Amino acid sequence: MHVHHDSGAVAAPVIGFDQFLAVDIRVGTIVEALPFPEARKPAYRLAIDFGPAIGVKRSSAQITEHYTLDQLPGLQVAAVVNFPPRQIGPMMSEVLTLGFPDADGKVVLFHPGVPVPNGGRLF
């Protein structure tokens, strides 16, 4: 799942709309950000609230270059919520938090420019 760090120079193959719909991308608010010293690459452990239907889910994110732990709580982010959970060191990552690479390939979180209700689905 984590072979997705290419800069996007080449477009991906054409897919059907139903394949896009199969990927459940939701917005949530980070409610907790903790250090993750056990991670192989510098990362944080996040708890993200996706609203009443989905609840709070955990994620590991390699976002240490652009964000400090105290900046993250309250920030709305987008995540894929329907991948199977993945064991990352001692934690179970339940959702894939989404971001884009900056010019140096470091992750910038993808978040709405205007506050939206937690749990909203990307379309």
CATH number of the domain that 37 lies in?
Answer: 2.40.50.140
Using one digit for the tens of pLDDT, what is the confidence trace for 81-101?
999 999 998 999 999 999 999
What's the number of domains the chain is made of? 1
Residue 2 is assigned to a structural domain of this protein: no
Query: Binning pLDDT at 50, 70 and 90, where does residue 8 land?
Result: low
Residue 5 C-beta-side C-alpha neighbours within 13 Å: 9
Q: Which domain holds residue 48?
A: 17-109
Other beta carbons less than 10 A from residue 98's beta carbon: 18
pLDDT at residue 1 greater than cutoff 50? no
d(CA 22, CA 18): 6
9 residue type, one letter: A
Residue 35 is assigned to a structural domain of this protein: yes
pLDDT at residue 4 greater than cutoff 60? no
Please give the model's pTM, rounded to 2 decimal places: 0.89
pLDDT at residue 7 greater than cutoff 80? no
Residue 3 is assigned to a structural domain of this protein: no
At a CB cut-off of 8 Å and minimum separation 6, what does 24 contact?
A: 80, 81, 82, 121
